[in-house]
Chain A
């Protein structure tokens, strides 16, 4: 079954409502920290101090019509530092998750991993790369690829 991060789930994922998931995911890769409450009471807060769930900024990605790309963008926005890490290694569960969201068939996963690792500098050209820039770069790379282009059509 095709995996998408559904709109309903996105609503649950953030206190903000998104009319159109995928529109404007502008999170910086490595955010500065606004501080973490001391670990006291960590157990019992159950998410009270979990408000660190990324501030959504309006970016320039625009509203991609492709549902897979929207889901991927959504995932990138929350997990971009882990996705970047996995890409630099060419492996890892967060990179796999991107492939799953993009609906990349298992047979094409190796090509996907290699493409991402080899073009790390293209996807993340600088320390200030934002999630939407990275998503656009990934889509562009895949569009130029002879087998992976089918997943971003």
Chain B
């Protein structure tokens, strides 16, 4: 067959597509490479018989979205048309063109693609870096992280060049005026177009590092020149095309995995996506596939300013606050009497802190501008170079933390009833999970299911289903004063007056403060509100204000939390529900913890003690 094909290549091109044996076309149309290029991918929610692209412009054949063979035939014909220019199929789909030419040994006829050629020469890409925007403490929902690709130019010995490097990202093209609730809804159930876009890295830094306070991890990939060429050719095909965006699976990270799959055939990162593609998980896969050459850490503005403040002495910290409050001018004698190097560091830190506060507290422009200008003017007069403290790289990267799917097995006793308990949690992290690689004080759980089997009467019961639970315990001090908050929704067992434990839907929330050393020991106090709705409760629903007080230690080997919760149920004969608890977890390994929990509850004037132990495995 091969010699025949070679001969045919000499014939006029249009004739060729007609004469490529259909068996060969069948074979190519079902090959992994072709299906990857067209984004046919089997997922938990859909079969592989349809492309994930939701854009007719992504295909040359009208049937392209459902028929890879028709698309291959159409492509084969189109790329053999004479001529060139931006609208030529070869210019619109350079990756498909290159791949088909190689497979069919078509002649490498040069073609003029003004837009694509300009784009490629401007990108001037020597290496590709996967950038992971980590979560920020007071934003547990940012725990999922975000990823995008950075295209590094060829002379990257200078950091400055990297600021100007282009990035490729895939994001929901949401209407700016959509509310967050709408955003969440449409993000989960579909409805937002997802668009691939190219932006300079400095804009990304501005967004993630300065505005959202998220550290960036930069994973330089070990792609060859040829692989980079394929990736960029395919990125060009994707740019501006619509792929509907879904938070959980077809999200920012997902599309990037597809790009890497195209770049290095056989990688098949997309096959690893199950029900959800959490960006931090996708980074793990990329690391597992030995795609990473080196890793760099770029702390966020918030991380930097925190570290800079911690590097100052108590008196110097006083100076910072005095200047921020306007009690002392940057040029005041009190500041000027500091040694030059110390003064430089104090002014630098104050400037960074002012920028942070101005963003967080929405300062008026006059206040920010006047103080900022005074600080910098004063700083520019100091010749001494300040040894600028840079936040150290965390020992454990986010992708080196525990895996996010957790299964718990154990047993215990509630009052005088023994039970075995199985707990399954698809995502993501709770306060007592191994803390390395996660933000201290932050918790985000999805779809956690606890089931109990009571050994006495051989009864299987759903104990709790946590649809979503978020906790954010951010410590307060004189520089930072974040609120701590928590919110949860799901179904749980609750006592009724006649002593039954019924499963009832609940909604709970709380807000308060936290103090101490994150990780080491922090205390928290929250005002809470609970709502339960169920036929088995008298009047069908109940409402309770309450309080949640506790202590938390998150250690590398042992994590511990203890506290008191009290709720005053309001409706239908008021009653109190008080609870004291202690839970300890011993982290034996990144993937294994032992758990012990004790709880004493006073509800409807009945006291009951529950304890349980078990182990927790992370996958």
Residues of A within 8 A of B (CB): 1, 3, 5-6, 8-9, 12-13, 28-53, 75, 78-79, 81, 84-85, 87-91, 93-94, 96-97, 99-101, 117-118, 120-121, 124, 126-129
Contact = CB atoms under 8 A, between A and B. Distances in A.
Closest 9 CB pairs of A and B: A39-B139, A32-B365, A120-B380, A46-B171, A96-B160, A127-B373, A43-B142, A88-B376, A127-B369
B369 A28 contact: yes
A17 B159 CA distance: 28
A46 B169 contact: yes
B519 interface: no
Interface stretch (B5-13, B205-213, B222-230, B413-421): B205-213
26 contacts: A1-B154, A12-B198, A29-B373, A30-B358, A30-B369, A32-B362, A32-B364, A34-B362, A41-B180, A42-B136, A43-B133, A45-B183, A46-B146, A46-B252, A47-B171, A47-B207, A52-B207, A78-B203, A81-B355, A87-B376, A89-B386, A94-B160, A97-B164, A99-B160, A124-B377, A128-B369
Given A36-B211, A124-B376, A53 B203 contact: yes
A84 B352 CA distance: 12
Give the interface SS of chain B, mostly helix, strand, loop or mixed.
helix
Interface residues of B, number: 78
A43 B143 contact: yes
B63 interface: no
A30 B372 contact: yes
Contacts of B118: 8
B43 interface: no
Interface of B: 118-119, 122, 124, 133, 135-136, 138-139, 141-146, 153-155, 158-161, 163-164, 166, 169, 171-172, 174, 176, 178, 180, 183-184, 187, 197-200, 202-203, 206-207, 211-214, 247, 251-252, 279, 344, 348, 351-352, 355, 358-360, 362-366, 368-370, 372-377, 379-380, 385-386, 388
Contacts of A88: 351, 375-377, 379-380
B163 A93 contact: yes
Contacts of B145: 43
A100 B160 contact: yes
A124 B373 CA distance: 8
Contacts of A36: 211, 359-360, 362
B224 to A, nearest CB: 21
A13 B379 contact: no
B199 A79 contact: no
B135 A43 contact: yes
Given A29-B373, A32-B363, A87-B380, 10 more contacts: A8-B118, A32-B358, A33-B359, A45-B172, A47-B171, A47-B207, A52-B211, A89-B388, A94-B163, A101-B164
A45 B364 CA distance: 26
A127 B370 contact: yes
B276 to A, nearest CB: 12
Nearest to B137: A39
Given A35-B362, A42-B212, A88-B380, A30 B161 contact: no
B139 A81 contact: no
Contact of A97 (B163, B178, B214, B251): B163
A31 B364 CA distance: 8
A96 B211 contact: no
Given A79-B206, A96-B160, A100-B160, A42 B141 contact: yes
Nearest to A74: B200
Contact of B379 (A52, A89, A129): A89
Contacts of B352: 85
B159 A93 contact: yes
B372 A81 contact: yes
B450 to A, nearest CB: 26
Contacts of B279: 43
A124 B141 CA distance: 40
Nearest to A39: B139
A42 B124 contact: no
A41 B444 CA distance: 12
B380 A121 contact: yes
Nearest to B362: A33
A129 B176 CA distance: 30
Given A30-B369, A39-B139, A127-B369, A120 B187 contact: no
Nearest to B118: A8
A50 B207 contact: yes
B198 A9 contact: yes
A118 B187 CA distance: 51
Contacts of B154: 1
Contacts of A100: 158, 160-161, 164
A144 B392 CA distance: 41
A47 B377 CA distance: 34
Contacts of A118: 380
A38 B138 CA distance: 9
A86 B174 CA distance: 35
Contact of A120 (B155, B176, B376): B376
Given A33-B363, A81-B355, A97-B202, A43 B373 contact: no
A126 B136 CA distance: 34
A124 to B, nearest CB: 7
B490 to A, nearest CB: 18
B200 A9 contact: yes
A13 to B, nearest CB: 6
Nearest to B166: A9
A32 B178 CA distance: 24
A129 B372 CA distance: 12
Contacts of B344: 89
Nearest to B207: A50
A44 B380 contact: no
B173 to A, nearest CB: 9
A46 B146 CA distance: 7
Nearest to A120: B380
A41 B200 contact: no
B370 A12 contact: no
Contacts of A44: 141, 144, 172, 183-184, 187, 247, 251
B373 A126 contact: yes
A31 to B, nearest CB: 6
Nearest to A91: B385
Contacts of B370: 127
B176 A78 contact: no
